Amino acid sequence: MINKRQMMGIGLVICLLFFISACKQEEYQLRLLSSTGKGEVEVVSSNQDQYQLGSKVVLNAQAAEGWKFASWAGAITGSKNPKTVVIKKNLEVKANFVKTRVMSSGGLDNKSAYFSSDIEEGVALLWTSQADYQVSSSPVVVNNTIYLGSKKKKLYALNSKTGQQKWQFAVQSRVISTPAVNEGTVYFGTAAQEADTGNFYAVDAETGQKIWQLETEGAIYYSAPKIEDNILYFGDKKGNLYAVNAKTGQVKWKFKVASAIMYSTPAVTADTVVIGTVDGELYAVNKNNGEQEWMKEMDHPIVSSPVNDENIIYYVSYRQNEGLLTAVNGENGDKKWEMNFEDPSPYAIAYQDDTIFVGTLAGDLHAVDAKTQQKKWSFSTPGEIIAAPITTKNVVYIGDSEGNLYGLNIDTGQEQWSFKGQNTIVSAPVIADGKLYYSDQSGMLYCLNQLQSEKESTEQE
């Protein structure tokens, strides 16, 4: 017979065995993947096969001669080196190295530009160009020329291979929205800070000479022009939606909405122009005569440009602490479905192959299946996502307010690489000729090369 004391002893032994077993299970691996570029990662602290939960491991990236450490990728991000990692799960880490840069003169406002040789292996900084102004617009790249607006009341044209300035066009107000380029002409709007008025310009893309100018009733903020069949569509802060002849600058029609058009670039369908307002109205206007086809009141601000696919309109909005992704019928505006992220302020949207990519001010990028309304994956950044993501066949690119730019696998959301810039990224990057260009809020313009696999996927599109 087992007495009570023996039973207690057996129970303590069993508990101890369970405790030891649980402790053994809380051991994780840290795998160092092959680095991008030339260099290696050293484990400064204890290098071992397994680490206990909560262990702190110090990693040091050591660049080869002629190269320098750029950023971490995989389970950790940023550019701090050495880097302390706290083990909470199995981790995979790699380092990105780039060739040492050399200086070249030129750049925006004839400031300094920096560049490095083209690198086929991995993402690398090729050059930067700095000017003393804030930038909100995305760069546009056409025929080896970058066009970029600034809050310094100028539109710039730069050589896309070197970052050196080709010409600048001075205006009376800030250039906040992204320009458009078509058939040798650059189109862009301006926003006066005090008078809240604006102008819209057409400028020769090669010489920077003005072709025509149109005075608008309101300031043009983030509503970038959309051009189709030589007609420009854009909105202003006083609630005007314009259709303008791109060749002559003559207004074809102007439609008045109930509130300001601030953040919404028009979506053009076969028959209509769709635009959102800050008070939450969504309008569809006949693109031929400017008459209203339908209007829906959503009761919460529309903070993204609508996206059209097969006559379904997708957009994001927010109310209180909820972020909403909505799909409506393009024929009549009737709601098809709505998805609540329970996440503050979705702010940016992109669409590709039945997947909607939504960035939020909480720093999360969500990939949503447009057919099932199910999340496919989410990726978290340390900062706010303000700029819209862009996509290629295999990669989605996103920037955050901490200056981080990420390349993610479009199917899984797994980080392929990251690059640390100097300031908040508020505008979407752009890809042209195997290079990736983006600007930050401080006025720094960056040119990165793409991974070889990313170049191939871009060329296939």
Please say whether the beta carbons of 219 and 191 come within 8 A. Answer: yes
User: Is 356 domain-assigned?
Assistant: no
Q: Is the pLDDT of residue 119 over 50?
A: no
pLDDT tens digits for 262-274? 888 999 998 999 9
Using the predicted structure, report yes or no on whether residue 354 has a pLDDT greater than 50.
yes
Residue 248's φ and ψ, nearest 5 degrees, are -110, -20
In terms of average pLDDT, the best of 48-62, 90-104, 301-315 is 301-315
pLDDT at 365: 92
The yes-or-no verdict on residue 114 having pLDDT over 70 is: no
pLDDT tens-place string over residues 126-172: 898 876 567 888 899 999 999 999 888 999 999 999 889 999 999 99
| Distances from the Cα of 424 to the Cα of 230, 257, 274, 438, angstroms | 35, 32, 30, 11
Instruction: Assess if residue 421 is contained within a domain.
Output: no
Would residue 118 count as lying in a domain? no
Does the residue 371 lie in any domain?
Answer: no
Cα dist from 306 to 362, 417, 419, whole Å: 21, 29, 29
pLDDT value at residue 1: 55
Is residue 6 scored above 70 in pLDDT? no
Q: What's the structural domain count of the chain?
A: 1
Quick one: pLDDT band at residue 460, thresholds 50, 70, 90? very low
* pLDDT for 367 beyond 60: yes
Domain presence at residue 393: no
Name the DSSP class of 265.
P
Residue recorded with tokens 């292996």: 121
Query: Which of 4-13, 184-193, 387-396 is predicted with the least confidence, judged by mean pLDDT?
Result: 4-13
Query: Does residue 399 form part of some domain?
Result: no
For residue 103, pLDDT over 50 is answered with: no
Residue 29 pLDDT: 85
pLDDT tens string 325-346: 899 999 999 999 998 877 666 6
Domain-embedded: residue 68: yes
Percentage above 90 pLDDT, the chain: 45
Task: Answer yes or no: is pLDDT of 110 > 80.
Answer: no
Amino acid at 236: D
What pLDDT does 228 receive?
A: 93
Asked if the model's pLDDT at residue 398 lies above 90, the reply is yes
Q: Is the pLDDT of residue 112 over 50?
A: no
pTM of the full structure: 0.74
| Domain housing 30 | 20-99
* Bridging pattern class, strands 272-276 and 267-268: antiparallel
pLDDT, average across residues 179-206: 93
Mean pLDDT rounded to a whole number for the chain: 83
Say how far apart CA 148 and CA 157 lie, in whole Å: 7
The predicted model gives 239-258 an average pLDDT of: 96
User: Percent of the chain having pLDDT more than 70?
Assistant: 83
412 within domain boundaries: no
- DSSP letters for 355-372: EEEEEETTSEEEEEETTT
Direct distance between the N- and C-terminal alpha carbons of the chain, in angstroms, rounded to an integer: 79
Averaged over 274-281, what is the pLDDT?
A: 92
